[in-house]
Amino acid sequence: MQTSSPIKQAEQIAIEKGLFYKPFFLAPVKQIFAQRAVRFDELAAEENGDWSQYLRLLATLSRAQQYAADALPEELPPLKQGHTVLPAADGSRIPLEFYPALRRIVSQMATAQEGQYFQTGIQRAADLPQQEAEALAAQVLQGEYAQEDAPLFIWIHAALQVVWTVWAQQLDDKQVLPVTEREVCPCCGGEAVASVVLANGDWNNLRYLHCAVCNSRWNALRAQCTFCKDQSGIALQEIQNATNGALRGARAESCERCGHYRKMFMLQYQQYAEPVADDLASLALDILVGEAGYLRGGHNPFLPIE
């Protein structure tokens, strides 16, 4: 697999900004969905049964997302000054680019071999008129889950990711400035799926939260709860002696004060960890921490049980 993208970013920015520069914001790389597809394929090879099949489907979906992202024009919406730089991913406004992205993703999935197991949902998504699709997208962003529409959510999420990610790819640290409140994404207001701890030169041990919507990363303090900001009751949970690729680098940062946990991926132990993909391949850690009484935090749009 290719070198992890945060390391490439670190090397390039260090050259441009100076070796001691510590960025607050890391934009998603141009080929993020293609890179994620490779990681999903790797993780699927380590799984068995239905879950391996689902990870392979997500690899195919990630490639479809890359196809849709490559087709979108690189045009930024008006930037904001406030809680988010980009238009907030809160359902109040669905971008015009969303429906074309959805159509491209669904068209790719309809002909994919892995898509045959999800044909009902794919066909329903293909048949959605624009107004209905946009209404469902608003519901998804607002966290409103109607059971009868559940088969559509994976495709809706995928298209929303594409639009906000293409926007975020065009931003830099001059536009996304450090903020005090770091619980949600400073670009779009989305929730972090997990955090990543880098393992490279001057950026070694820096932690970045990874947005589940626009795939941006923003710096967050180590040993501080990413929900309530408490520092006294933080603990790291892990699967001891894990040999599975995702579990080897996965940790769960739990907080005694608020009772939540969010996953953290240590690139020191698994250099190819990708938060969205590795989260879905490390569910054994969720079971362990959940049995200890902690509530999962960190929204993964492709986790079926959410």
Residue range 121-136: mean pLDDT, rounded: 94
pLDDT per residue as tens digits for the range 106-126: 999 988 877 666 788 889 999
Q: Look at the block and give the residue holding tokens 């790719």.
A: 108
φ, ψ of residue 204 to 5 degrees: the values are: -55, 130
Give me the chain's average pLDDT, please: 89
Q: Is residue 39 part of a domain?
A: yes
Distance CA(69)–CA(304), nearest Å, equals 24
CATH of the domain at 99: 3.90.1670.10
CB within 8 A of 102, min separation 6: which ones? 125, 128, 133, 155, 156, 158, 159
Q: Is residue 221 part of a domain?
A: no
Residue 3 pLDDT level (bands cut at 50, 70, 90): very low
Residue 10 pLDDT level (bands cut at 50, 70, 90): low
Print the domain residue range for 152: 29-168
CA 175, chain centre distance (Å)? 21
Q: Is residue 116 part of a domain?
A: yes
Contact 25, 186 (CB under 8 A): yes
Amino acid at 142: Q
Specify the number of domains making up the chain: 1
The one-character DSSP state at 8 is H
CB within 8 A of 135, min separation 6: which ones? none
What share of the chain has pLDDT > 70, as a percent? 92
Residue 109: name the closest of 98, 96, 121 by CA: 121
Residue range 22-49: mean pLDDT, rounded: 95
pLDDT(305) > 60: no
Amino acid at 150: A
pLDDT per residue as tens digits for the range 38-81: 999 999 999 888 899 999 999 999 999 999 999 999 889 988 87
pLDDT per residue as tens digits for the range 267-285: 999 999 999 999 999 999 9
Q: Is residue 159 part of a domain?
A: yes
pLDDT per residue as tens digits for the range 151-200: 899 999 999 999 999 999 999 988 998 888 888 999 999 999 999 999 97
* H or E element that contains 71: helix 49-71
Q: Is residue 187 part of a domain?
A: no
Residue 159: name the closest of 88, 234, 109, 198 by CA: 109
Q: What is the 3-state secondary structure (H, E, C) of 83-121?
A: CCCCCCCCCCCCCCCHHHHHHHHHHHHHCCHHHHHHHHH
Alpha-helix residue ranges (DSSP H) falling in the chain: 5-17, 32-44, 49-71, 98-110, 119-127, 130-141, 150-168, 245-249, 275-280, 283-291
Distance CA(78)–CA(171), nearest Å, equals 12
pLDDT(4) > 50: no
Amino acid at 216: S
Q: What pTM did the predictor assign?
A: 0.91
Q: Is residue 185 part of a domain?
A: no
pLDDT(13) > 80: no
Q: Is residue 33 part of a domain?
A: yes
Residue 242 pLDDT level (bands cut at 50, 70, 90): confident
Token digits of residue 162:
């594409």
Identify which has the larger pLDDT, 23 or 8: 23
pLDDT(97) > 50: yes
Determine the pLDDT at residue 143.
86
- Look at phi and psi of residue 267 and say left if phi exceeds 0, alpha if psi is from -120 to 50, else beta: alpha
Q: Is residue 201 part of a domain?
A: no
